[in-house]
Amino acid sequence: MSDLTANDNPIPSVETTNGSSLEDAKNTVVNSKLPSSSTARLTSSIDASAAANAVKNHPITQSVTNGPVAENIKEQHAKTANEFSNLSASRTTPATPAATGQQLTHYHSFFSSLLSWNNPRASGIAYLSIVLFIFAARYLDILRYAMKLTWVTLAITVAAEAAGKALFSTGFTSQIRPRKYYTVRKETLDSFMGDVTELINFFVIESQRIVFAENLLASGAAFVGAFLSYYLIKVVPFWGLTLISTSVIFLTPLIYKANQELIDHHIKNASDVINSQTEQVKQLASHHAARATETTKQYAGEYAAKAQEMIGSRSRSVSPTITKAEPAPIKKENIPAYKSEDFPAAPKEEFKSVPATSSEQEPLIAT
């Protein structure tokens, strides 16, 4: 007598088939427990998983993912990530302060490491990114495409929500809505604002260091760039001038780093020639200055002697000379002759004073 009932489904024995008994048992259990629609979905997912595993385990796929090309790509990706990490870690405050004694920003170290090509992959990617952005700003209407992306996104979300509520009483957009809207943490915002402040101060400090010639070579290079830009802006558009400036800023250190020995050798030779010529000019200038001083002293002495001689001769011509005056001739005129009898006789007695009377005397003090 059998123990099976009408509602029981028999499960085949594991030993009855060759290799497919477990698969048949699984299918039997699944078919007996799940409805037809769920069974179809499960079967399709199992088939898709099996197909994915088959593609993944295929020899061609294994040769591509584990071959030398893939290994090289992984190695380069690891090196690039490492260089970006080093570039990010270089944002430290420099130990050497400015000429005024104040500390520089950590962006001084960052841009110094970026432009010196100490991390070539990171510097190259940064340069290419800036160049692509310049070309995109020139040939692509970025603002128009941004507005188009905005209205297309809103149209899709609104239409999906409206269609879902009309057909299924539940909007499709609300189904993918996050449980909690994304927000920016205060710590992240403070860190971002701190970086922005440091970046602004970097440009402010560097502009002042260039203007006040703290580094003569940097100020000279800035002068040459500004001078050439003044004339190039008349014939070159702004985006072209920006591209030229970016290429000069990034590629000049790279060229110097690749040919450092040759460039240093020529710079040393040029410096020696300039120093020797400068020394010769100094010696020649000092020689001519000494000769000019001697000539000036000689002419000054001659003119002083001539001036003294002229002053002496003028004083002798102006001052009167002492000469012996000859007596003037006496003119003889007819003067009548006088005799002593013609004059009265001289008195022989002294003069006698007449005494004054008292009535004639006036009082000394008037009463």
Mean pLDDT of 267-277: 89
Q: Is the dihedral of CA 28, 33, 37, 38 positive or negative?
A: negative
Task: Give the pair of three-digit tokens for residue 304.
Answer: 């002083």
Residues 107, 90: contact at Cβ < 8 Å? no
Residues 202, 107: contact at Cβ < 8 Å? yes
Q: What global pTM score does this model have?
A: 0.59
Mean pLDDT of 165-179: 88
Task: Give the pair of three-digit tokens for residue 137.
Answer: 């700003």
Residue 365: which residues within 8 A CB-CB, separation 6 or more?
none
Residues 202, 105: contact at Cβ < 8 Å? yes
Task: Give the pair of three-digit tokens for residue 159.
Answer: 């239409």
Q: Rg of the chain's alpha carbons, rounded to an integer?
A: 60
Report DSSP state, residue 90.
Answer: T
Tell me the per-residue pLDDT of 226-269, one tens digit each, with 9 for 90 and over. Answer: 999 999 999 999 999 999 999 999 999 999 988 989 988 888 89
Using pLDDT thresholds of 50, 70 and 90, give the confidence band for residue 45: low
| Separation CA 245–CA 222 (nearest Å) | 11
pLDDT of residue 339: 66
Residues 246, 127: contact at Cβ < 8 Å? yes
Please tell me which of 65-74, 96-105, 333-342 the model is most confident about, judged by mean pLDDT: 96-105
Task: Output phi, psi for 357, to 5 deg.
Answer: -80, 160
Strand, coil or helix: 183: coil
Give the residue with greater pLDDT, 363 vs 231: 231
Strand, coil or helix: 285: helix
Mean pLDDT of the chain: 79
Chain centre to alpha carbon of residue 283: 39
Average the pLDDT over each of 54-68, 160-174, 207-221, 258-272 and give the range with the smallest value. 54-68
